[in-house]
């Protein structure tokens, strides 16, 4: 089941994205420690994305060998 994250982008007068607003619940999942460094934030985002991809993969049916090879050829 996919959950919408309700992420918003703030833009400047030219329409260029300059900031992102995310729900505080997601922020606290990414950074439970308010004094985290930029490197810790980057690692937390990477971990979050990897975990999300792995969870989605468990819901995806496995391909046969021939189906996997055909998908790689595309």
pLDDT digits (tens, 9 = 90+) for 6-25: 889 999 999 999 999 989 88
Q: Model confidence at 3, in pLDDT bands (50, 70, 90)?
A: low
Burial of 30 (0-12, 13-18, 19+ CB in 10 A): middle
Query: Is the entire prediction scored with pTM above 0.75?
Result: no
Q: How do the domains of the chain map onto residue ranges? A: 8-73
Residue 30 sits at φ, ψ, to 5 deg, of -75, -40
């Amino acid at each position: 089941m996919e959950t919408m994250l309700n992420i918003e982008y703030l833009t400047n007068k030219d329409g260029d994205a300059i900031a992102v607003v995310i729900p505080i619940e997601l922020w606290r999942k990414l950074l439970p420690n308010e004094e985290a460094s930029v490197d810790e934030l980057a690692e937390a985002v990477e971990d979050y994305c990897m975990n999300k991809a792995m969870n989605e993969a468990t819901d995806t049916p496995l391909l046969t060998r021939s189906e996997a090879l055909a998908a790689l050829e595309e």
